[in-house]
Amino acid sequence: MKSGDTLRTAECSCGQVSLSCKGDPQRTSICHCFECQKRTGSVFGVQARFNKEQVISNGEMNEYTRITDSGNQVTYSFCPRCSTTMLLTLSAMPDILVVPVGVFNRHDLPNPTFSIYEERQHMWVKFDCQMEHYQ
């Protein structure tokens, strides 16, 4: 199977929502912003960015929209039963779907190549892969 033919599946904690993502993501990134820390309950978020046509979703999701630091909107789509965040959409990039890496059933996504909001990164967090770094 070629990388463009790779099919990855993702599920929420209770299994009510699932995603099928065909091919490789545009990029996988790490975000240290306070909102990603709150969304994940961890010290950063890790997500994969796909073109919309690469992702098929199944199951009912609720949405929450907030304004970003740049003034754009980000919408979180999450399972109404277990509250797992399954998708993020960005008003600045309407053809993109962002999928949190932790919901995938396989661990074969490319290493993160992009790290943002590093001024909010916890001092003890270190990565050993090559990435672009942004404050």
The one-letter code for the residue type at 51 is N
**For 40-49, 70-79, 101-110, 115-124, which range has the lowest pLDDT when averaged over its residues?**
115-124
Residue with tokens 């990435």: 131
pLDDT at 2 exceeding the cut of 60? no
Span 45-68, pLDDT tens digits: 899 999 999 999 999 999 999 998
**Nearest in space to 34 (alpha carbons), one of 1, 82, 69:** 69
For 4-127, where are the alpha helices, taking DSSP H only?
34-40
Residue 120 CB-half CA count within 13 A: 16
pLDDT in tens, 64-101: 999 988 899 999 999 999 999 999 999 999 999 999 99
Domains of the chain, start order? 3-133 (3.90.1590.10)
CB atoms within 10 A of CB 108: 8
| Sign of the torsion angle spanned by Cα atoms 56, 62, 67, 69 | negative
Q: Where does the pLDDT of residue 33 fall: very low under 50, low under 70, confident under 90, or very high at 90 and above?
A: confident
Measured CA angle at 31 (ends 26, 36), to 5 deg: 115
